Structure 1
């Protein structure tokens, strides 16, 4: 089947969706709460996601070869199930629109200050739409092909160690206290959204459920360590006061680097980072389509509609002076959709009879 993927491709689908714009500002956000223990907050957030992945795995085992769209209908019935799927669709579109707005603001701040926002928005969403219209195998192959950029980003980050670093900024370990570390992990959790796409991709992977759980766990481990590393180098590269005052410390930490052949490493880093950011849009456009239909022709029409809605949402948000209130509402609402609701689906599934055979009916 052309629309199936292997477990390696699933790994890259997950990490490409999770790793996006949130990383660039994450160190300053969680440092305000967890101080020098911010890197521990990232590890705690990764552990929380792993617990959710266990629930996802148990749920998907009960309904083999089915996506969340089919599971909600099976558990809650046609009316409520389809209503929930529509709500999921709305949230996926809102997340994509919100992310697009953040991407445009970042690019205008650092690179293209004179370019109209609607043009950048059109380019970002247009590129994402072009890829999202393809089947999942094509999308996965593109994600695998561009995964080499993560290695390049890490190599660029090593240049930071040419600057003066202060390891004492993270000492003594645990000084912030458990409550502040948890507060920082909450902010980190929102920056690591994207793992929920496995609820729509698992059914199209050519492997057994045990192997799929290992892949999802490995992807979560990779993303957690990736985020922890960048938070760590920012903590030792900036003084605590300086880190609180910069919006994108990951970029600022590279801004001062200059070499004979390369200048402004921050812009080189950001130019590469645009690809993972766009990949996140692709994934959410894809799962938005899959949340309402399984038919390929209907899916393509829905993706076109979704792309238009994402553009309109992104354009509207860009006209607002402050989107923090919308951001908080969206993220906490979305948290309910990806955490308590799947847990509820899993618990209610025990009340169904013969649900272990649903995949073969």
Structure 2
């Protein structure tokens, strides 16, 4: 089942934009201060370099997903072993994201609802969507992307309050090293672009100009994150940003209008859809990492959903998440950057071998 370029664009941004945005302004401000927005732009530039490597690799194997490329370049046994690792990794990422989503909803909206109930609802909805074919999933992502426009329109209401542009001036005051450290933190909040490795081959028609499509998706996400970091920096004092965990929601909490109240809950209610879309994407690529057959894929999604629920419930019992999240970040760098780069370099050896063999 194929998708269009536009659908690929929205599938990438819907996977990238998730829960990380809500806490990003406070996380980066504690490191880079008023230059946090620069850190976001630098993180976007680094991701663009990674996407450039993806494009070069996928251009050589335009009809193959990453799971098929690994087998082609590394051989049947090593390639399948790598794909199993990718499957486990994607399931773990989905479980980690589910635990964060459930915790966020529990704190801000449903404090009396048991965590396992929230996890069941999140995982159940995600599995239901991931079971369908890729074109249906892509159409849902495109349709629901209109909510980004709603969120941006809601954010404009903050400009009725006092915005302190002095909080981000002078530009570059934090120094290069804090800005670079902030970009590292931002990089892990913008992950999700790796789904390109699995969805690229599903795009119908000529693949010419695909670099522009994936670059445009990264550009949109980068500017989207930069915008919300900026309004948090200007709308909240540095001390306030240090004390709140989700400054984006906190910024809306103080807004009240005659027709509606508690904009933070309205914002979060809408935000649940992009958060769920991230889980759907990871369940989808987890299934595609081990099989290309429709029947096997559906069974694997059901199985993956069960593992995600159990793992997410276990993660919620961990008191100190910092060591676990740090380990996950290192794993992410290996799986989405190091391995694709090595595969790309290996593709030159395979190509050279094929040329020698054909002479």
Regarding TM over 0.5, the answer is yes
CA shift, 1:335, in A, is 1.4
Matched, 1:146 2:144: yes
How far apart, in 1, do the equivalents of 2:295 and 2:115 lie?
32
Name the residue aligned to 1:76: 74
- 1:1-361 matches, within 5 Å, as 3-353=1-351
How far apart, in 2, do the equivalents of 1:64 and 1:92 lie?
22
CA shift, 1:355, in A, is 8.4
When residues 355 and 54 of structure 1 are mapped into structure 2, their CA distance, relative to the original with a 3 A threshold, is farther
CA shift, 1:331, in A, is 1.7
CA shift, 1:356, in A, is 8.9
TM-score by length of 1: 0.97
When residues 355 and 189 of structure 1 are mapped into structure 2, their CA distance, relative to the original with a 3 A threshold, is farther
How far apart, in 1, do the equivalents of 2:346 and 2:333 lie?
19
The runs of at least 4 consecutive aligned structure 1 residues that moved more than 6 Å come to: 354-357
CA shift, 1:354, in A, is 6.8
How far apart, in 1, do the equivalents of 2:168 and 2:11 lie?
33
CA shift, 1:207, in A, is 3.6
CA shift, 1:165, in A, is 1.1
CA shift, 1:210, in A, is 3.1
When residues 7 and 249 of structure 1 are mapped into structure 2, their CA distance, relative to the original with a 3 A threshold, is same
How far apart, in 2, do the equivalents of 1:133 and 1:61 lie?
28
Q: Which moved more, 1:321-330 or 1:96-105?
A: 321-330
Alignment RMSD (CA, Å):
1.2
SS at match of 2:349: coil
How far apart, in 2, do the equivalents of 1:210 and 1:80 lie?
31
Q: Deviations over 1:307-360 (max 9, x none)?
A: 000000110011122222111111211211000110110011100137899xxx
How far apart, in 2, do the equivalents of 1:329 and 1:354 lie?
37
Preserved CA contact (<8 Å) 1:5 1:137: yes
When residues 171 and 356 of structure 1 are mapped into structure 2, their CA distance, relative to the original with a 3 A threshold, is farther
How far apart, in 2, do the equivalents of 1:353 and 1:192 lie?
33
Preserved CA contact (<8 Å) 1:28 1:246: yes
How far apart, in 2, do the equivalents of 1:356 and 1:188 lie?
41
CA shift, 1:187, in A, is 0.6
Q: Deviations over 1:255-287 (max 9, x none)?
A: 011111100000000000000000000000000
Q: Deviations over 1:183-211 (max 9, x none)?
A: 00001000000000010001110143332
When residues 74 and 119 of structure 1 are mapped into structure 2, their CA distance, relative to the original with a 3 A threshold, is same
SS at match of 1:350: helix
Preserved CA contact (<8 Å) 1:72 1:81: yes
- Number of residue pairs aligned between Structure 1 and Structure 2: 355
Preserved CA contact (<8 Å) 1:30 1:38: yes
CA shift, 1:242, in A, is 1.1
When residues 207 and 176 of structure 1 are mapped into structure 2, their CA distance, relative to the original with a 3 A threshold, is farther
Gapped runs of 5+ residues in structure 1?
none
How far apart, in 2, do the equivalents of 1:242 and 1:215 lie?
38
